[in-house]
Amino acid sequence: MFQVVANTSAASDLVVTDETFYDIAAREALLDASFGPARFLKSSERIREGRLPAAGLALAAHLGGRLVGTVRLWNIAAGDAGEALLLGPLAADPSIRNAGIGSALMRHAMVRARLLGHRGVILVGDPEYYVRFGFSADHTGGLAMPGPFERHRLLAAEFAADAFLGANGLIAPTGVFADTQERLAA
């Protein structure tokens, strides 16, 4: 368990843990509230479907015993750059947005991914938000998602020097397949 310390009163009481079976229903409700049914149509979902998140990288944020945030990372091949992670979705309870929950989850996920030895992380998201966590589109120009995506929103953060430099090709899932019961939870 990790106690997050932040400048806002809500985030200072935030507890970030590994996601558990007991978080599943609340996570799905949170994702529905944050993204609606369109979340299932995204290219990133094609990479996640039928797979389990990367080991140790499905995180839940709780405030007062209630799930208020989630982030998950997935094993991928970043074209010819090789193994990497895909981050997403990241969601915070819409009723308490701007309380630092998303930032706390991002910081925790990035530190944990680095400590677990991953070379870098890719995501599709708002550059203005993710730049503070080290993401940019500098090395993603040759990479593609399996479906439609906005090129300027395909971002990467490198833990290993030049992990994505000159990377070309399709981003593809490499993670562990979920069995039927796990698929319901994922």
- Rounded mean pLDDT, 45-58: 96
- Judged against a pLDDT cut of 80, whether residue 2 lies above it is answered with no
pLDDT tens profile 108-144? 999 999 999 999 999 999 999 999 999 999 999 999 9
- Three-state DSSP state, 149: coil
- Rounded mean pLDDT, 175-185: 72
Element (H, E) at 45: helix 43-48
pLDDT tens profile 66-116? 999 999 999 999 999 999 999 999 999 999 989 999 999 999 999 999 999
**Predicted local distance difference test score (pLDDT) of residue 40:** 77
**Predicted local distance difference test score (pLDDT) of residue 136:** 98
- The alpha-helical segments, DSSP class H, found in the chain are 9-12, 24-35, 43-48, 101-115, 127-130, 180-185
DSSP symbol at 106: H
Percent of the chain at pLDDT exceeding 90: 85
Task: Kindly report the average pLDDT of the chain as a whole number.
Answer: 92
Residue ranges of domains in the chain, CATH in brackets: 2-185 (3.40.630.30)
- Judged against a pLDDT cut of 80, whether residue 161 lies above it is answered with yes
| b/e per residue 7-24 (b: at least 16 CB within 10 A) | eeebbeebbbeebeeebe
